[in-house]
Chains A and B, each alone.
Chain A
């Protein structure tokens, strides 16, 4: 357990340093004077850039040695100081607090929905491999994996908002507005988890203990509930951990598509507006969220399967 937490902390540390170093290097490697670019970003291209750039250079200390600047940046990071947004002027931390909350809700809703859709389809496919449910599940999974998430989102928007008028196409605030973006993410996740579930269920259904439960005369539903679900859930849960990447990347796409005010939306906006401190802060938070989600999923699988808790 302690090793597990330590490994995750290490991973979080690596993410922070890599994102930071990458931003730092990119700022300086790319053509053009960093102070010039920041000045242009702040005051617009019409301002008297050369003077403004000098001011920026002094203010941010860009004329000092690069190593000093990098260490200072790391120091600020440790004090959770990401600086100020170049566009709104507010602190990056404050902006991120608001958006992170929204994104966490979206990710949680998507995970939950996908856990309702994927494993249930997988269960019915896996109990009768090769049957009608299995074939339909396979076609569905292949189809949803071949549709890019943004196209899926657009289709859902067109069907549920435009044609049927059931759900709002964009916005934030009520559960109704989270449903479409969450469903977009969930369908992509379910396409994959349904197949993993199907294989896990098929393996469990072939196992001797499953056959024994049937021989001793337990009703089918009880056999599945007592002897099937928990065993089949373990590979599914650990597979979901790998899908944390899908969730994080999906958040970026789906949030910008549905104008949902979360981290991904903020990152895309910051990129379009060249708001470098916001880009750094958001990328960092998204990296940490990725570590957090995979840690959560691993904990879940430890809880489901006590055998893993024993030291190997």
Chain B
């Protein structure tokens, strides 16, 4: 019953509030930069030019250059694309199995549900980052384990929310009526269940992408994630940090980009709720 109340509470019903619109606007801008940027900016993000080492902002290089003289604008665009792309793929890899398994558990119950519950409990018993670190320990610097580890920890949330909500929806009288009228499972699923869970899944998806962006940049920053020269925002910060006193803005650029990405996703996800 309490879950049902949750569903109908204003938190999932509020229309696009100011926070939500700000978040969406921010993400559209950043998304355009990440998608179009690498195509429009004709500079190789790993092309070095030692003559332009730590070039200031506004000269030959629009956003300056790093210690190897690599264009920061190009690196930021590629870094944003990488973060966005990884986060999006991770979210999909977590959401699709999570939602499907949740629907399965809610529909079938019994052994299927108990088995899935056990797996979910086991994953929850471990901190997510540790799972990722364990996978990375055996094959460092690769996209594969990073991606797999993140998806492995994030699917549980999708599974649990889908399962709980679907169960309450399926227990309602109008579903029973629909079933008695002879409508099949797929009709009930698309007409009655999906409209209820979709907004919640969207919220979870935005949070999952924010977590993925933070996790990837953090792991690269502590040098167990993606390795330089990959233009990854987290490792860019750490690479540029020794030059902070000469070029403070250069360090702040990738940090600010991560901040805006995560902020946009969180604003979009929580809207009025924050």
Residues in chain A within 8 A of chain B (CB atoms): 11, 14-15, 18-19, 22-23, 26-27, 30, 138, 141-143, 145-151, 154, 158, 162, 195, 244-245, 248-249, 252-253, 256-257, 267-268, 270-272, 274, 276, 279, 283, 286-287, 290-291
Contacts A142-B263, A158-B244, A268-B223 known; 7 new A-B pairs at CB < 8 A: A26-B137, A150-B217, A151-B258, A245-B127, A256-B222, A257-B221, A279-B137
Q: B127, A286: Cβ atoms under 8 Å?
A: yes
Name 10 A/B residue pairs within 8 A (Cβ), A-sorted.
A14-B121, A26-B135, A148-B214, A148-B258, A150-B237, A252-B222, A253-B218, A271-B140, A276-B137, A283-B133
B127, B136, B267 — most chain A CB neighbours (10 Å): B127
Within the complex, what minimum Cβ distance (angstroms) separates A3 from chain B? 16
Q: Does B241 sit within 8 A of A, measured CB to CB? A: yes
Residues of A within 8 A of B136 (CB): 271
Within the complex, what minimum Cβ distance (angstroms) separates A28 from chain B? 10
A15, A19, A141, A249 — most chain B CB neighbours (10 Å): A249
B139, B140, B214 — most chain A CB neighbours (10 Å): B214
A-contact 0/1 string along B21-41, CB 8 Å cutoff? 000000000000000000000
Q: Once bound together, how far apart are the Cα atoms of A268 and B222, in whole Å?
A: 8
Q: B224, A271: Cβ atoms under 8 Å?
A: yes
Q: Does B262 sit within 8 A of A, measured CB to CB? A: yes
Q: Does B126 sit within 8 A of A, measured CB to CB? A: yes
Q: Once bound together, how far apart are the Cα atoms of A135 and B267, in whole Å?
A: 15
Q: Does B138 sit within 8 A of A, measured CB to CB? A: yes
Q: B127, A249: Cβ atoms under 8 Å?
A: yes
Within the complex, what minimum Cβ distance (angstroms) separates A256 from chain B? 4
Among B125, B128, B218, point to the contact of A15 (Cβ < 8 A). Answer: B125
Q: Which 5 A-B pairs have the closest CB atoms?
A: A249-B129, A146-B263, A256-B222, A146-B262, A271-B137
Residues in chain B within 8 A of chain A (CB atoms): 121-122, 125-131, 133-140, 210, 214, 217-218, 221-224, 234, 237, 241, 244-245, 255, 258-259, 262-263, 266-267, 274
Within the complex, what minimum Cβ distance (angstroms) separates A245 from chain B? 5
Within the complex, what minimum Cβ distance (angstroms) separates A242 from chain B? 10
Among B133, B137, B263, point to the contact of A252 (Cβ < 8 A). Answer: B133
Q: Is the interface of A mostly helix, strand, loop or mixed?
A: helix
Q: A23, B259: Cβ atoms under 8 Å?
A: no
Q: A19, B135: Cβ atoms under 8 Å?
A: no
Q: Once bound together, how far apart are the Cα atoms of A79 and B258, in whole Å?
A: 45
